[in-house]
Chains A and B, each alone.
Chain A
């Protein structure tokens, strides 16, 4: 499929009517007016796409990969994490540290869990490998902090999630 460009012909070779038409079109900027008409048609306030953040917060998709969260069991309140360390192994940036120790029944128990958000690229590989759905990337997206240390989330922060300030309209 070759795209033919309607190239204006060289002067002298064109027929007189075409030359007149050419000159008229030159005087009458139809091409520009068409564009302006289109812009004018699109001025309706209903066509505004701008979102008034932070008063108006975006609704992100269900699968959105945002802040990580360590899930607890709804009934018992205990962590779902079995300290298997798979997330730490899957992470390309090796930013997850899982601490565990054996309890009396010789079962691994989670002691600490740190997640360095400053290096995270939200690829979601950690939540993909989690066998118990303990680690999950949530819809929270406001992750700024005043210090580098604030970007390293410990277990309480991961379990409770961020609490960004909500603004009213």
Chain B
């Protein structure tokens, strides 16, 4: 049932034609359109559900409501000018997008960011991972019906966004990094801000755990819901916390270290069952591990320049490059083809949300409608990145 071959069930008829002599009204199956304005589809995702009562028989994702043509825009901007646009793909982890893009272009040009810039990048990217997971935690819990965590989690997010604002002048669409390094040096008090955050944050994660981990309602709603085993994950190309919750210790920060990640001691949290509950536990542990990385990085910020030597008129050599980083949601890759001009010839983004969303159909089959909300939340998608 690909989207191309079957007509849109809401316009062109039902997903399956009724048998001869049987009107569609006799069928106990029902088509339900969930989204694109549904509050629990995290933006403008539309899921066409085929229901048998409360059970989901089949589901189909319809995407594209937030398509802005970011890849095409990239072909009409210089490499520097495209940098702010990547912030707007996955807008809750703009720093990670910027890191992926800048590193890809640097790889294409053959330059490496100076050590000081690399450490600052790691710190901000890990802060961003925490803030992205925090948004996920709050909204996911809210979807399932736990109202309290969202207030607690946004309190910590505010602290992170204040650090971003002080560093680069914007809270969400940060544009924090530049090709070749950084635009701004650290502000006075950056280290103390981060140290204070690292000291207080683990206790805050404990608070989230108090609210949710043992909570019987939370466990009833998440344990065993939306299972996805490691083989299916690999077959679909699912990455990030969803893959790790299925028991695969695959993290690009360890597998293909970039930006100096090999220098930091941290662990890859891995789940066992690959269900919604495990994804929750993996993400919470990742927040603690990110906090560990930040604490190590703060103690070892080297002195030196923050921007590598980059020509004013930036024309990378002819060639192509693929570079991927571990974004909060999974593998974020940039494939750039350069024809030696000021603008990329082709720019392709491999967004984690888009690929992870493909797993939804397999996960929701046989689940209840209420579980669909939990499962969509557990993949942690951002539609800005799915549609680009």
- Say if the beta carbon of A73 comes within 8 Å of chain B: no
- Say if the beta carbon of B82 comes within 8 Å of chain A: yes
Given that A49-B155, A63-B187, A65-B169 are known contacts, is A92 also in contact with B277, CB under 8 Å in the complex? Answer: no
- Say if the beta carbon of A149 comes within 8 Å of chain B: no
Task: Give the dominant DSSP class at A's interface.
Answer: loop
Given that A35-B210, A49-B158 are known contacts, is A125 also in contact with B84, CB under 8 Å in the complex? Answer: yes
- Say if the beta carbon of A62 comes within 8 Å of chain B: yes
A122 to B165 Cα, complex, angstroms: 13
Among A3, A5, A38, A125, the one with the most B-chain Cβ atoms within 10 Å of its Cβ is A3
B residues within 8 A CB of A64? 165, 169-170
A60 to B217 Cα, complex, angstroms: 40
Chain B minimum-CB-distance residue to A122: B170
A21 to B170 Cα, complex, angstroms: 52
- Please pick, from A3, A32, A90, the residue contacting B270 in the complex, using a CB distance under 8 A: A3
- B272 and A123: CB pair below 8 A? no
Among A4, A30, A63, A90, the one with the most B-chain Cβ atoms within 10 Å of its Cβ is A63
B residues within 8 A CB of A30? 214
- Say if the beta carbon of B285 comes within 8 Å of chain A: yes
Given that A3-B272, A3-B281, A121-B173 are known contacts, is A34 also in contact with B210, CB under 8 Å in the complex? Answer: yes
B residues within 8 A CB of A5? 223, 271-273, 277-278, 281
B residues within 8 A CB of A55? none
A residues within 8 A CB of B210? 34-35, 38
A49 to B157 Cα, complex, angstroms: 12
Chain B minimum-CB-distance residue to A31: B214
A residues within 8 A CB of B80? 90, 125
A121 to B170 Cα, complex, angstroms: 11
A residues within 8 A CB of B165? 60-61, 63-64
- A1 and B269: CB pair below 8 A? yes
Q: Mark B201-240, 1 if CB is under 8 A from A, else 0.
A: 0000001001110111100000100000000000000000
Chain B nearest CB: distance from A13 CB in Å? 18
Chain B nearest CB: distance from A146 CB in Å? 25
Q: Mark B145-176, 1 if CB is under 8 A from A, else 0.
A: 00010001001001000100111111001010
A5 to B280 Cα, complex, angstroms: 12
Q: Mark A31-43, 1 if CB is under 8 A from B, else 0.
A: 1101100110010
B residues within 8 A CB of A12? none
B residues within 8 A CB of A65? 169-170
B residues within 8 A CB of A124? 169, 175, 183
- Say if the beta carbon of B81 comes within 8 Å of chain A: yes
Chain A minimum-CB-distance residue to B268: A1
A124 to B162 Cα, complex, angstroms: 18
A residues within 8 A CB of B81? 90-92, 125
- A123 and B84: CB pair below 8 A? yes
- Say if the beta carbon of B247 comes within 8 Å of chain A: yes
- Say if the beta carbon of B267 comes within 8 Å of chain A: yes
Chain A nearest CB: distance from B232 CB in Å? 19
Among B216, B282, B285, the one with the most A-chain Cβ atoms within 10 Å of its Cβ is B216
- Please pick, from A39, A49, A63, the residue contacting B166 in the complex, using a CB distance under 8 A: A63
A residues within 8 A CB of B267? 1
Chain B minimum-CB-distance residue to A63: B169
**Number of residues from A at the complex interface, CB < 8 A:** 32
- Please pick, from B83, B155, B214, B272, the residue contacting A4 in the complex, using a CB distance under 8 A: B272
- Say if the beta carbon of B77 comes within 8 Å of chain A: yes
A121 to B12 Cα, complex, angstroms: 40
- B223 and A3: CB pair below 8 A? no
A residues within 8 A CB of B247? 2
- Say if the beta carbon of B85 comes within 8 Å of chain A: yes
- A35 and B211: CB pair below 8 A? yes
Q: Mark A121-134, 1 if CB is under 8 A from B, else 0.
A: 11111001000000
- A63 and B281: CB pair below 8 A? no
- A137 and B169: CB pair below 8 A? yes
A35 to B212 Cα, complex, angstroms: 8
B residues within 8 A CB of A3? 269-272, 278, 281-282, 285
Chain B minimum-CB-distance residue to A3: B281
B residues within 8 A CB of A16? none
- B interface vs A, CB < 8 Å? 77, 80-85, 88, 148, 152, 155, 158, 162, 165-170, 173, 175, 183-184, 187, 207, 210-212, 214-217, 223, 247, 267-273, 277-278, 281-282, 285
- A interface vs B, CB < 8 Å? 1-5, 7, 29-32, 34-35, 38-39, 42, 49, 60-65, 90-92, 121-125, 128, 137
Q: Which 3 interchain pairs have the tightest Cβ spacing?
A: A123-B84, A63-B169, A92-B81
Supply 17 further A-B pairs (C-beta < 8 A) apart from A35-B212, A62-B187: A2-B270, A3-B269, A3-B272, A3-B285, A5-B223, A5-B271, A5-B272, A32-B216, A35-B148, A35-B210, A35-B215, A38-B207, A63-B168, A64-B165, A64-B170, A90-B80, A92-B82
Q: List 6 A-B contacts (CB under 8 A).
A: A1-B268, A2-B271, A3-B272, A3-B278, A63-B167, A64-B169
